[in-house]
Structure 1
Amino acid sequence: MSQNGLRFTLDVDGLTPAATAVARFTLYQNLSTPFLLTVDIASDRSGLTAVSFLEKNATLTLWQGNTPLRYLHGIITGMETGENNHWQMNYSLTISPPLWRCGLRQNFRIFQQQDIRAISTTLLTENGVTDWVPSFYEAHPPREFCVQYGETDLAFLTRLWAEEGIFFFDWFHPTGPDQKLVLCDDVAGVSTLGSLPFNPNTREVSTECISELHYRAQVRPSSVENQDYTFKTPGWPGYFSHHATNLNGQRTQYEIFDYPGRFKDEQHGQDFARYLAEGFRHDAETAACASNSPKLWPGKRFTLTGHPSLTLNREWQVTGSVLKGEQPQAQHGHRGEGTTLSNRLDVIPADRTWRSSPLP
């Protein structure tokens, strides 16, 4: 992608564009983790306080000329003052998604005869997270009971989603600031960007591409066995197992045994064994990439073409990204190299579903 005409803006409720000129930003995104956006701004207002920023809605927009490339919306959860050069005051802002608020409330609670969708609806609604959607391809039957024991709402939900094989990411509307939290349990729910060429000569290319890709494989647990007990059916064995695929020649002796497995029926028992195995192996095959595209983030897939190692020309899904932008001309009297944008990615093959690492 060409850097010509690239610019960044930040809109904050109650503030003018001159008060929020973007000097630089870094956006950290990972599957099953609320995003973290840090933005350094140069402002024509030196008297702004915490009240001017905290809990305000903020939208970062990446532009190519007058064409928006990407939006990101969140709430300001932190601010810090910087230097004042007598023309502008520098501020550093931390921006998080609405889901972040779930980490501020702790509770003791029991849910009975409810499935994961109902439990999620209750807690997300109570925390003001209304723009979310389930994208489920697996069965998630009701649980007999489920206990939140001294956990924050976010820690509790994250643990339940991991048990149920659910990962989450933010979906962004391509032509506006609308975005939604997506709960997903299969790679089929991850949208694709199509093909991206491999081109290490980014200085000479004006189209979106992958400029680096470093593949890594490592030994991980090969199988999971879990077991649980219910007093209602004392003779029920409650024993299930799952053996991993895509072992790449590693030994099959690395077994994880989990007891109690936190299930009371066969559907949950078999599914939990598979989700555990896939969670333990979510980084068995990975790659670290660099790209000039701002359209790659967790919740996206792409097909790599043109790499000299033919085995790497395949479909990949993004599990993590660090998007950085620099706009030094936003600061009065600052000389720089102009606006720049870079994207570092973590990816895994797209022929499997990423699961969270098992949580205690």
Structure 2
Amino acid sequence: MAVNGTRFTFAAGSVSRETFAVVSFHLSQAYSELFTLNITLASSDPAIGFEKIVDEMATLTLWQGDEIKRRVRGIVTFCEQGDTGKHQTLYRLIVRPFFWRSSQRRNCRSFQNLNIEGILEPLLREMGIFKYETLFRAAHDWREFCVQFMESDYEFISRLMAEEGIFFFEEEFLKANDQKLTFADNCTTTTNMGALPYNPNAASEAATYCINHFRRSVQIRPSKVITQDYTFTAPNWPAQYQDRPSKMAYQHAVYDVYDYPGRFKDEQHGEDFAKYQIEGWRNNADFVVGSSNSPQLQPSVSFNLTDHPRDDLNAQWQVVAVDIYGDQPQAVIGNEGQGTTLHTDFQAIPSTQTWRPTPLPKPRIDGPQIAIVTGPPGEEIFCDEHGRVRVKFAWDRYNKADSYSSCWIRVSQAWAGTGFGNIAIPRVGQEVIVDFLNGDPDQPIITGRTYHASNRAPGDLPGTKTQMAIRSQTYKGSGYNELLFEDATRQELLSLHAQKDMQVKVLNSKDVRVNYDRTVSIGHDESLVVANDRKITVEGKQDHKTTKDFVSLTEGNQHLEVKGDLAEKIAGALGISVKGDIVLQSNSKISLCVGSSFIGIHSAGVDIKGVKINLNSGGSPGEVILPMRPMILKAAAGEGSVFVSHCPMGDK
């Protein structure tokens, strides 16, 4: 059925408007879907070039007399040249919205610190879509890291819209070229077309638009959504939110949907996502279907139903989907006796309900990936307070390899405790293995590191295959610290290399056992402080050589026992200063010799011989050579030297 005077016209590409006559069409539209217009055309030209039509703009115009009731614009995505008759050739075309182009480009890219509008803008612009509008009533906060992974632009956008409770539709205007893509998150953005009376007995042609069939349906749908997640910045945060509908009198409240991970890291997103999910799952829990002769019914349009025998149905309804069928058989020569018909099937929900898309699955990354650690120019180690780093993924064609190439990514360590464990920050330029929590592209985590042709392992493999090493590299330098294990048979070795200083602190005992030789070489000074006793036992021979001065201070008694001979050779003078007695005792003989003079003391007597012997007359005593201790200790104290008699054991 159609209102009197209904007719259809069609224009496409660079061909003239008179080229095609509309034979029939089927237009299918719904919220958050790309509309499809299947149209059959008749033309007197049997060989219209596809290049003039395909991927070009097309417009279907619905008329009532000389008044335009609706324009549907899109691009021709399919063209079929059909049968050629005596006078005309049939063509079948498929027209899709300009937004359909986004379904033909699959991509991998990431977006950082952007909200939904910031993500939408480049995607639509790159597809040449500049006429679009975002009608948001709720806040849609920025996302730290949002990845499109092996998805078409359309799949990616649709998924994000579903997560944020946003629906989209083509908003049509009667003026030329004014159709635009619209994104909305609230039912208040719909347009009311006024009243449509209920008339189940309308003839095939009627003078006014009306509703011919109107049926209400309800069905069981999920009754509650529970969404949960985890964030390492607040590990004790419960991170669980739930939402249930207020109206659910016709079903039991036992149909829970548990969603983990919920893909939120803050309270606001958790609450919003739970709300959007339950409203998406229940977008068809209570709805009506009907038919009409009005071509103006379309998603985002509401109407007031009147004259229905059930008063509760005489209300305002919001159209969420339509299928419009138009037939104009007289466009084919020989069918002039048949008239134009138009039939619209629609689905609607109460106008006060905000329709939201059903949650869509997120792509999962099947396994780990390889990436390169990045940072600002000239920096070797680039991390944040959590030891996270940034990387450049191999699939990323957009971001530069710099300090903004990705989000901050956590690094798995061999051991992680509260204030203890293992820490090794991957350095700029190193290759790492990146996995993804629950396969989520938005949640990368570094689980390992690998060498490659330009970043070789230490040593010279395979020649050093028996070696195991932990080797670092000096920050912005060429030095290194290393712990090396050599496991070659009969060449086993443990080697420790410190590029500069080395500190060892033992809070209790330290035992060292060397079964063979031990060699210590010190290039400068050595200081040893022992707070208590020290014992040295040498079971063989001990050699000691001091090339300069030797100073020894004993603040208590000193005992020396030599079970053999004691021989001392002094090239200079010998001075001994004793405040008490000096006792020399020998079981054999004591001799004092200077030149040819001597004094000998033995058990048989005392022998004195000299060129001249003075007794109580002549001569003088020699000067005692004093020890260097006072001067040395004074200088050491002035320099803050560790040459002290007490070890600071209080430093634990």
Normalising by structure 2, report the TM-score: 0.54
Q: In the alignment, which residue of structure 1 is the partner of 2:52?
A: 52
Structure-2 residue corresponding to 1:116: 116
Moved more, 121-130 or 11-20: 11-20
1:162-210 deviations in Å (ceiling 9; x for gaps): 0000000011113444201010001011111122111112217411111
Task: Identify if the C-alpha distance between structure 1 residues 330 and 160 changes in structure 2 by more than 3 Å, giving closer, same or farther.
Answer: same
- One-letter identity of the residue aligned with 1:17: R
Aligned-pair CA distance for 1:247:
0.7
Work out the CA distance in 1 between the residues paired with 2:309 and 2:213.
12
317-326 vs 232-241, greater mean Cα deviation:
232-241
Q: What amino acid sits opposite 2:350 in the alignment?
A: P
Paired residues of 1:59 and 1:177 also in contact (CA < 8 A): no
Q: Provide the residue aligned with 1:42 in structure 2.
A: 42
Question: Contact conserved, 1:72 with 1:177, CA < 8 A, in 2?
Answer: no
Alpha-carbon deviation of 1:52?
A: 2.4
What is the aligned partner in structure 2 of residue 30 from structure 1? 30
Residues 333, 224 of structure 1: alpha-carbon distance in 2 compared, 3 angstrom cutoff: same
Structure-2 residue corresponding to 1:270: 271
Indicate conservation of the 8 Å contact 2:14/2:53, yes or no: no
User: CA shift at 1:138, angstroms?
Assistant: 0.8
C-alpha separation in 1, matches of 2:352 and 2:18: 47
After TM superposition, give the deviation of residue 335 of structure 1 in Å: 4.3
Query: Residue in 1 aligned with 2:344?
Result: 343
Shift of 1:336: 4.6
Q: Is the 8 A contact 2:2 2:341 kept in 1?
A: no
- Taking a change above 3 Å as real, the CA distance of residues 121 and 33 of structure 1, as seen in their structure-2 partners, is same
SS of residue matched to 1:19: coil
Range that drifts further, 249-258 or 174-183 = 174-183
- 1:108 is displaced (CA, Å) by 1.2
What is the CA–CA distance in structure 2 between the aligned matches of 1:138 and 1:292, rounded to whole Å? 36
1:324 match? 325
- Whether the aligned pair in 2 keeps the contact of 1:317 and 1:350 (CA below 8 Å) is yes
> d(CA) in 2 for partners of 1:237 and 1:251?
27
Q: Deviations over 1:215-259 (max 9, x none)?
A: 111111111110111112212221111111221331112111101
Look up the match of 2:621.
none
Asked whether the equivalents of residues 133 and 181 of structure 1 are also in contact (C-alpha less than 8 Å), the reply is: yes
The question of whether the paired residues in 1 share the 8 Å contact of 2:13 and 2:54 is answered with no
Output the CA distance in 2 between the equivalents of 1:158 and 1:2: 35
Q: C-alpha displacement at 1:2, in angstroms?
A: 5.8
Report SS of the residue matched to 2:274: helix
Report the 3-state secondary structure (helix = DSSP H, G, I; strand = E; otherwise coil) of the residue aligned with 2:298.
coil
Correspondence 1:1-360 to 2 at 5 A? 3-203=3-203, 205-360=206-361
Q: Conserved in 1, the CA contact under 8 Å of 2:40 and 2:90?
A: yes
* Per-residue CA distance 1:42-66 (angstroms, 9 max, x = gap): 0111111321211111111111121
Bigger relative CO (Cα 8 Å, ≥ 6 apart) = 1
Deviation at 1:316, TM superposition (A): 0.9
- 2-side partners of 1:236 and 1:145: how far apart? 21
Q: Matched residues in 1 for 2:239 and 2:127: separation?
A: 36
Matched position secondary structure for 1:192: strand
1:72, distance to aligned residue in structure 2 (A): 0.9
CA deviations 1:16-68 (Å, max 9, x no partner) are 23321111111100100011111111011111132121111111111112111
Residue 166 of structure 2 aligns to which amino acid in structure 1?
I
Q: Number of matched residues? A: 360
Contact map agreement 1:3 1:339 (CA 8 A) in 2: no
AA in 1 matched with 2:187: V
User: What is the root-mean-square deviation of aligned Cα atoms in Å?
Assistant: 1.4
Q: Which runs of 5+ in 2 are unaligned?
A: 362-652
Which structure dedicates a bigger proportion of its chain to helix?
Answer: 1
- 1:337 to partner: Cα distance: 2.5
Q: Which residue of the partner structure matches residue 396 of structure 2? A: none
Q: Is the 8 A contact 1:37 1:96 kept in 2?
A: yes
Report the Cα distance in structure 2 between the residues aligned to 1:89 and 1:249, rounded to whole angstroms: 55
Matched to 1:171, the amino acid is: E
Paired residues of 2:320 and 2:347 also in contact (CA < 8 A): yes
Given that residues 326 and 342 in structure 2 are in contact (C-alpha distance below 8 angstroms), is that contact kept between their aligned partners in structure 1?
Answer: yes
Using the alignment, how far apart are the partners of 1:177 and 1:196 within structure 2?
A: 28
Tell whether the 8 Å contact from 1:144 to 1:264 is kept in structure 2 after alignment. no
Taking the aligned partners of 2:345 and 2:148, their CA distance within structure 1 comes to 36
Change (3 A) 1:205 1:10: closer
Between 15-24 and 39-48, report the one with greater CA deviation.
Answer: 15-24
Provide the C-alpha distance between the structure 2 equivalents of 1:235 and 1:58, rounded to a whole number of angstroms: 57
Larger radius of gyration: 2
Give me the whole-angstrom Cα distance separating, in 2, the residues matched to 1:153 and 1:2: 38
Q: CA deviation at 1:144?
A: 1.5
Partners in 1 of 2:17 and 2:194 — Cα distance? Answer: 35
- TM-score, scaled to structure 1: 0.97
Structure 1 residue 4: Cα displacement: 2.2
CA separation in 1, counterparts of 2:141 and 2:104? 29
